[in-house]
């Protein structure tokens, strides 16, 4: 008697695979668990900033209180810091960090971009903004700080192998990245898989785009963006790479003390790319902190980040007589819940 081989139709297989893709996509959205309200409030420490001698509007740059407040008043003779947010965030998210810089007498502004766009396109947008900024500064000493996805955008903006590379020769650029997935986002692995696209009859690609936007091609492990990060330009004086060990981190506990909203987004492996080990002036630091905790939220102040930035000269040291004042400021800025 002839034995028939069971036939499994492609539709059920595709449906199961697509279900897996959807589940992974929701994991991929983890960095968007908290969306922050934008603030129209001015910086509380603006009086500490140097007197402005230039007023300018530069597309994609704002004063960190709201993306639409684009008028920048700067002292062109002093350094300036550009803060690049991660996914599902905005300039208003980092108003508090800009205020911490202002407390220390340092001017900081924010870069605004579509967090669903291709990271290549966003990095080009950043290049244009920083070049324009450097042109209006008598002292084009610019520090760029990127958190999470913002670190990917910030680093890619200053690599040598691109047609639109930064070419202001007299500028001095320093780079700081925080909790950035330079090794690729594991939950996005299916987005870069040709075999998975075949299993889902091509539906995995539009699902990935639906959840993440055009960046879905850039963020999977093994993508060209991840595997070929490029060599930093000589204009970069250094790269401070802050990785966060987020295992066990929690954003919110219930009344019984159990974690109901964890703060784990990217593993150390996801934040590690060996090709970056040759970055100019690379300084790698690993901190035990959650993904949101490191930059501060309504439950914690970013003291670990502040200490690290000060140790590496990104943020000015706090005078001993102002330590208590800084602690009060951090509580006012961050402990809002």
Give the pLDDT score at 39.
52
Give the pLDDT score at 148.
95
DSSP string, 156-168: HHTBSSSTT----
Give the pLDDT score at 105.
97
What are the E-state strand segments in the chain? 54-57, 61-62, 71-74, 80-84, 107-111, 141-147, 172-178, 236-245, 250-253, 259-262, 282-288
Q: Indicate if the pLDDT at residue 103 is higher than 60.
A: yes
Average pLDDT over residues 23-32: 47
Name residue, tokens 């991840």: 226
Give the pLDDT score at 337.
60
Q: Indicate if the pLDDT at residue 4 is higher than 50.
A: no
Average pLDDT over residues 157-183: 92
Q: Indicate if the pLDDT at residue 160 is higher than 80.
A: yes
- Confidence grade of residue 79 (pLDDT, cut at 50, 70, 90): very high
DSSP string, 30-68: GGGS--PPP--PPPTTGGGSPPP-EEEE-TTEE-SS-TT
- Which range, of 6-15, 43-52, 226-235, averages the lowest pLDDT? 6-15
Name residue, tokens 């060990």: 245
- Confidence grade of residue 5 (pLDDT, cut at 50, 70, 90): very low
Give the pLDDT score at 70.
85
Q: Tell me, rounded to whole angstroms, the distance of Cα 154 from its chain centroid.
A: 8
Query: In a 3-state reduction of DSSP, which class is residue 330?
Result: helix
- Confidence grade of residue 266 (pLDDT, cut at 50, 70, 90): very high
Give the pLDDT score at 289.
96
The CA dihedral of 281, 226, 157, 164, to the nearest 10 degrees, is 120
Give the pLDDT score at 208.
74
List the beta bridge partners of residue 250.
Answer: 262
Give the pLDDT score at 10.
46
Tokens of 36: 């922050």
Dist. CA 82–CA 322, nearest whole Å:
25
Average pLDDT over residues 184-206: 64
Give the pLDDT score at 225.
96
Give the pLDDT score at 263.
92
- Confidence grade of residue 91 (pLDDT, cut at 50, 70, 90): low
CATH superfamily of 10-334: Alpha/Beta hydrolase fold, catalytic domain (3.40.50.1820)
Q: Indicate if the pLDDT at residue 330 is higher than 90.
A: yes
More confident residue, 202 or 330: 330
Domain boundaries, the chain: 10-334
Name residue, tokens 């597309």: 59
Tokens of 233: 């330009």
More confident residue, 143 or 190: 143
Q: Indicate if the pLDDT at residue 92 is higher than 70.
A: no
Give the pLDDT score at 88.
73
Give the pLDDT score at 169.
79
Give the pLDDT score at 27.
45
C-alpha atoms less than 13 angstroms from C-alpha of 237 in its C-beta half-sphere? 14
- Confidence grade of residue 12 (pLDDT, cut at 50, 70, 90): low
Radius of gyration over every alpha carbon of the chain, rounded to an integer in angstroms? 22
Closest by alpha carbon to 329, among 115, 43, 33?
A: 43
- With beta carbons less than 8 A apart as the criterion, state whether 65 and 95 touch: yes
Mean pLDDT of the chain: 85
């Amino acid at each position: 008697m002839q034995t028939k081989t069971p036939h499994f139709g492609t539709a059920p297989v595709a449906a199961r695979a697509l279900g897996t893709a959807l589940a992974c996509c929701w994991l991929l959205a983890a960095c968007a668990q908290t969306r922050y309200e934008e603030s129209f409030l001015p910086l509380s420490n603006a009086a500490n900033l140097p007197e402005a001698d230039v007023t300018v509007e530069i597309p994609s740059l704002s004063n960190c209180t709201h993306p639409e407040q684009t008028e920048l008043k700067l002292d062109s003779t002093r350094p300036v810091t550009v803060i690049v947010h991660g996914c599902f965030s905005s300039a208003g998210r980092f108003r508090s960090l800009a205020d911490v810089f202002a407390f220390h007498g340092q001017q900081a502004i924010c870069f605004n971009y579509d967090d669903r766009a291709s990271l290549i396109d966003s990095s080009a947008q950043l290049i244009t903004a920083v070049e324009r900024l450097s042109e209006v500064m008598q002292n084009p000493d610019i520090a760029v700080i990127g958190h999470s996805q913002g670190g990917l955008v910030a680093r890619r903006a200053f690599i040598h192998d691109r047609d639109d590379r930064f070419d202001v020769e007299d500028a001095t650029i320093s780079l700081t990245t925080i909790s950035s997935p330079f090794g690729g986002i594991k939950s996005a692995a299916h987005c870069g898989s040709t075999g998975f696209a075949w299993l889902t009859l091509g539906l995995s690609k539009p699902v990935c785009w639906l959840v993440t936007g055009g960046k879905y091609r850039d963020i999977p492990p093994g993508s060209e963006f991840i595997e070929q990060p490029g060599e930093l330009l000589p204009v970069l004086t250094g790269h401070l790479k802050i990785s966060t060990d987020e295992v066990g981190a929690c954003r919110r506990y219930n009344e019984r003390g159990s974690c109901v909203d964890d703060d784990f987004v990217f593993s150390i492996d996801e934040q590690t790319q060996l090709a970056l080990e040759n970055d100019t002036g690379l300084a790698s630091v690993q901190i035990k902190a959650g993904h949101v905790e490191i930059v501060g939220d309504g439950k914690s102040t970013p003291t670990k980040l502040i200490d690290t930035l000060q140790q590496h000269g990104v943020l000015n040291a706090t005078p001993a007589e102002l330590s208590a004042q800084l602690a009060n400021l951090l509580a006012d800025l961050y402990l809002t819940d």
